Structure formats: structure tokens, C-alpha cells
Chain A
């Protein structure tokens, strides 16, 4: 591998890592704060990607302007989903919550297939569809833009959760919901917001997916595998770790993709997933405290 090739792979991996971090954000937030494993995460993500595709390719909206539109629409959809379905499972055992999310996933995926069929799609992002060249290294603008947006979003979320009173309340809710309610935090209302924010972040992940990769509605589960891997590797409760885990997976995929035939990428990723599962034995909370 020459130096140029190495630099190119490094850049590809870092940009892909930001994309993957964007996929995992919503899953990590809902899991870390509400303790819910949102199996429907990737279905929401792909549905948002399809809506985004419709807005950009069909309606002809500006690709950057369409992102906040999609995210806002899914924030509203998230509040609706929380107040109809999710609020009923917050106090239920794990199995009920998983079954409900699984059913939701199937319904969302099938609706997406009904409306948009199973074709593989790509977004033509107009002026973003160019490539910058630095020496021998090619950098697609669409990936740079999505990586930058992801970093801004991650930073903003980190500051919100650590520096504001609402953020502190949300972190308190993650630690112990009952005690948080006792000290006057409105857990019911915050719960709606957090789930809606998780849905909106999934939608953001969907727009990122649509901008950088081809996608089809019935294949969304693979993005769930990636997002899940990043959540396992990075743990919960820290946006920085989510980003680092995303970068790790992105770099790994980029380098494996260069060194081995492409299908081995999946084996490496799943092997990493199994290793991470075996290594991280204290539970999804990422700390001993949550399992008690």
C-alpha cells in the first residue's frame, strides 16, 4: 500500500466513521436515557432517507435545506410515536418493549416498501456532487458536509447534556427515573422530548445515509447492526465515545475493504461485534450502576 493509497483510505475511513456515528446517535440516546432498545431505529432511519430522497430527487429541494425539514418532521413523528406506543411500554418488562418495537419496525419497513418499493436508490445532491482533490487524495464534498454536520450535532448534543439545566435533568433521569421525578423533574414530558430527539437523530442519520451511500428499505437491518456495534463499543452516556467508536468502525471498514475482498468487511464487523459483546459484560448501561 503506497502512501497515497494509505492517505486516501485514512480519509475515507474517517469520513465513513462520522457517517456511522450519525447512524448510532439516536439509538445511543434513547437507550442511554430511556433504557429502551429501539429495534425500529434503522427502519426510522431508512424511512427518513426515503423521504429525503423524495424531497431532493422528486421535489427538487436544495439538499442542505431538506435536511432540517426531514429532521423536524421526524421530531414530530417521534412525539406522536412516544405518546401512542412508547409511553405504554416504559414500565413494562423488557420482552414487551422489544416485541412492540419489533412490530413497529416491521410496520414501518413494510410501509416504506409499499410506498417506495424495494429498489436501491441514491440521492443526486446537486452542487454537493463534486470531489475536492488534495494532491493525490480525493475527498467527496457530500461526505465532508455530512461529517461536518455530524460533528456539529455531536458537539451541540454534548454541550446541551453537560452544560444546561435541562441536560442535567435528562442525565438525572437516565440515572434514576423515580428519584428524578421525586426531585421535581418532569420525567413524563422530558421522556417525550428525548424519544422525539432520538427519532429526529435517526432521521438525521437517514439523510446522511441518503447523501453518501445507496440504500433500499428492506436492507435497513444492516445499519442497525452497525449502529448497535458502535453503541456496544463506545458505551453509553458519552457522545465523545460514540464518535470514537464510529471512527474506529469506519477506519476498520475502509482498511479491510482495501486489503481484502469486499464481503470480508461484514465478517470483520460481526467478529468485532461478538468480541465487543464478550468483552463488555456489565450490561447495556455501560456501567455497573445501571444493572442494579
Chain B
């Protein structure tokens, strides 16, 4: 499994030059370890810990002017990718680091969408004002789901989250204040389509940077170590003093909050909210797929996976209807067959995702 390495600076220099005066078995161990390390990995391969965040930060800065310079449809596609990155970073906290798979991320996302839409339609709140409440509402909705399942082991959480999507649709459909089957309209003011798209793009870019920063901080904090310990061996983690249910619940609430934030922007982006479209199962699938393809339990994974999956979906959606094997017309929905099979293949054969492919050498080094 992926051991958390390479992140924390190791005292390699001290180990490679042991004090010649000190004898005894401890020093011998140090020498043996140093030799093993020296043979296992050629020196100088190691990338310093600050490079990753610096590159990601630079990428986010470089992406700011894209809203003006690129074509409008590309800006919209990039906005979708950024939105999915926010949701996937939220999913990754419990799903990637903690190993508890959430198959109903769209419930928390949809709660954010409906909260923002309701606040806008009834009270006239602008987008930025609805964001905190949307995040809060999503976290509140995730609370009963977590309380019911996270004290248990195994797959209860996965199945409950999968089936709760259906309940969310029923609730939205039968609640009059949420518009029922008629839905709700949101309004947002902008002088031109370009200004509108750029506004959403920048908001989502900021949110994606925020979500990535949260993931990066979690990965380095005790909280992240506790989550990884739960993934590797929950019993051992509990014995060592990790308050497992508490940690899992916090990861769920934080992830749901991020999904709710993304949902509040989506509510204004689409302009029209209705139950089936909002609680669309595809979003849950995408969140899982992005993290699995990018790399579970890494802050870089959702960034890479988000771009890959959204571009792949766009490409499939435009390509599939244009091919006619044996003269058949293939509807664009066929892309989900491809995505499902892709998930199976990655889960079986590329367990550490795209990020893991780059890390292979460094992973071997640690297994000394």
C-alpha cells in the first residue's frame, strides 16, 4: 500500500553519516539502514516537499487569465472540471484517505444547490452570500448519514450513501417550498455571457484552490494520519488511540461542506433547478472516478483526475454519436458504460491512480 512518504523531511543526512565514535547495536542498525537506503534509491531523485504545492499554486495563478483569453466553450468546460475538482477533493477526504467510499456525493452537492437556489429565489441573495449556508446545509444533511453508519465497519456506509440518493430525489420532488417537480429558477446579473462565464470560472477556480489547500493541510495534519491509519487497519488505529468514528465523521462533514460549496455555484450556473437533474447519479460516479483515476488519498489526485475525467466525458459525448459501428446509432449515454468499465479497470489494476504511476520508484525505496 501507499505509505505516507516523501512528504515529511527525513533526517537522511544524519543517518548516512553516523558518529564513528558511537558503538553498540543501535549504531549498527543505523549503518545498516543507511546502507539499505543508499542501495535502494539513487540519491538526488527526491523532490523536495515544497515543489508540489508550489507547482499547483503556480498552475492556479496561470489559470486566472484563461477566463478572458480562451474560447467561451473551453472556459465553460474548464469551469466544470474545476467544480468536479472541488467535489472530488471533498470526496477524497473520507473516501481516499479514510477508505470509506461514498457513492452518493450528489446528495450533499444537491443540498448545496437547493439551499443556494432557495435563498436566491425567495430572499434574493447573491451567489457569494449563499455559499456559507449551502456548505453548512450539506454538512448538516451528511450528519445523520454519518451517525447511522460510521460507527460500523465495512460497507454499510457505501450502501447507505448509494441508496440515499433516491430518498433525496423523493424529498425534493415532494417538498413544495423547493418547487417540487417544477423546480426553482435562480437569477444572476451580468453584463455579457463572457462576464458571466468568467465570474463562475474565477469563483470555481478559487474554490478549487481552497479545496486543494484543505486536502494538502489534511494530508500533513494528524487528522490525515488518523484517516490513513483507519484505511490501513481500523482496529489497530483504534487501539493506538485514534477516535475512529469521530475522525471519520469530521472527514465526512468537511467533504460534504466542500460539495455544498460547489453546489451553490452550480445552482447559479444552470439557472434552473429540478430534482432529477440536480440529484443526478452521474455526479456521484464522477467524484469516485476522478479520485480513483487520479489517485486515492493524495491531494494531487483529484486535480489530475478531474481534468482527465471531464475532458474524457466531453470527448466521449461528442465522439460516440459520430461513430456508427455496423451502421448502428449509438446514443451518447453509452459513455457511462465506458466510465463504469474504466472504474473497474483502475480499481483492479491501477490502484494508486495516475499519481501512483509517477511515484513508483519512490514507493519502492521506502519498502526497505
Contacts and interface: CB of A to CB of B under 8 A. Distances in A.
Interface of A: 37, 39, 85, 88-89, 93-96, 98-100, 102-111, 113-114, 218-219, 221-222, 224-225, 228, 263, 266-267, 270, 273-274, 277-278, 281, 283-284, 291
B340 A107 contact: yes
Top 9 closest A-B pairs, CB basis? A106-B340, A103-B343, A107-B340, A225-B163, A99-B347, A103-B344, A110-B336, A37-B155, A274-B148
Interface stretch (B37-45, B166-174, B247-255): B166-174
Given A96-B347, A283-B154, 14 more contacts: A37-B155, A93-B99, A98-B101, A99-B347, A100-B343, A102-B101, A102-B158, A114-B330, A221-B165, A222-B163, A224-B162, A225-B166, A274-B144, A284-B155
Contact of A85 (B154, B159, B344): B344
Nearest to B339: A106
29 contacts: A37-B158, A39-B158, A85-B348, A94-B155, A95-B99, A98-B158, A99-B101, A99-B343, A100-B348, A102-B162, A103-B342, A103-B347, A106-B336, A106-B337, A108-B340, A110-B333, A111-B337, A113-B333, A114-B337, A221-B163, A221-B165, A225-B166, A228-B163, A263-B174, A266-B170, A267-B167, A273-B163, A278-B148, A284-B155
B348 A96 contact: yes
Contact of B152 (A104, A105, A277): A277
B153 interface: yes
Nearest to B231: A95
Contacts of B348: 85, 88-89, 96, 100
Interface residues of B, number: 45
Given A96-B351, A99-B343, A110-B334, A37 B159 contact: yes
Contacts of A284: 154-156
Contact of B341 (A103, A113, A221): A103
Contacts of B292: 99
B104 to A, nearest CB: 9
Interface in B14-48: none
B149 interface: yes
Contacts of B155: 37, 94, 98, 284
B359 interface: no
Contacts of A99: 101, 288, 292, 343-344, 347
Contacts of A94: 99, 154-155
Interface of B: 99, 101, 103, 144, 148-149, 151-156, 158-160, 162-167, 170, 173-174, 231, 281, 285, 288, 292, 296, 330-331, 333-334, 336-337, 339-344, 347-348, 351
A111 B336 CA distance: 9
Given A39-B103, A99-B347, A105-B340, A277 B163 contact: no
Contact of B166 (A105, A106, A219): A219
A217 to B, nearest CB: 11
Contact of A107 (B165, B231, B341): B341
Contacts of B152: 277, 281, 283
B324 to A, nearest CB: 15
Nearest to B292: A99
Contacts of A109: 336
Nearest to A118: B333
A267 B347 CA distance: 34
A283 B152 CA distance: 7
Contact of A102 (B144, B336, B343): B343
Nearest to A226: B163
Nearest to B341: A107
Contact of A263 (B144, B170, B334, B341): B170
A274 B256 CA distance: 19
B101 A95 contact: yes
